Amino acid sequence: MFTYVFGVSSERESVHFLVSEFVSCRPGEASSMTLQDALDRPTELLMKDYEYINVLHEVATGVHYLHAQHILHNDIKTDNVLVYRTADPRAKARAKLIDLGNACWESRPACFDVDSSRSSHIAPEVAVGGPVSSYSDIYSFGYLAGNVDDHPGQVVAERPCVKAIADGCVKQARPTDRMTLGAIIRLLADAEAKPPA
């Protein structure tokens, strides 16, 4: 779900750096890339359309884990999901949620100065200067699901839950009306359990 964190390094008392796992490509082949790159260049990672369901499920599970720890990610988008393959050619593509640089404690929500023309994955209430919340992370996850839904493949036809999730997270008038992560995870687990067509 996340890159492994080995520890913290600090050059000064007020500045800390996380030392984390580096997930790279095997020499001569594309074995990892961002979700955005996987969507833009599907032939490089050779992902089957049904594998995107697994990727979404892993991201939703990761966000759920963060929220259970009272942490908000605040920047869930296709460029912050690393998609990779293990050495096992039969294994599904996996995902890791990266870039926790904007994360904060739920008890101390941040407000961001957002350029809405470049940050359409940010919830509307945050884009106008409001504080982040678990609901704003859910909005961003729905926006990410919408990007997968727009992927030119068979995902939507075979797995209509992706569109339902995107709509349930993004098209709600009030943040509290957005889908819950529990409901999202259940829908994705059910879709994952169905054999690919």
Q: Averaged over 58-84, what is the pLDDT?
A: 95
Compute the chain's Rg from CA coordinates: 17
What CATH code is carried by the domain that includes residue 48?
1.10.510.10
- Three-class SS of residue 187? helix
Question: Is the predicted pLDDT of residue 190 greater than 60, yes or no?
Answer: yes
- What's this model's pTM, rounded to 2 decimal places? 0.86
Q: Residue 194's Cα: distance from chain center in Å?
A: 22
How far is residue 97's CA from residue 144's CA, in Å, rounded to a whole number? 12
Phi and psi of 46, rounded to 5°? Answer: 55, 45
pLDDT for position 15: 66
pLDDT for position 27: 47
Write the secondary structure of 96-115 as one string of H (helix), E (strand) and C (coil).
EECCCCCCEECCCCCCCCCC
Please check whether residue 94 is in contact with residue 85, taking contact to mean a CB–CB distance below 8 angstroms: yes
| Per-chain mean pLDDT for the chain | 85
Domain containing 14 equals 5-193
Distances (CA, A) of 73 to 53, 86, 140: 21, 25, 10
Name the nearest CA neighbour of 98 among 120, 121, 68, 78. Answer: 78
pLDDT for position 89: 74
pLDDT digits (tens, 9 = 90+) for 110-166: 888 777 667 889 999 998 889 999 999 999 999 999 999 987 654 555 678 999 999
- Give the total number of structural domains in the chain: 1
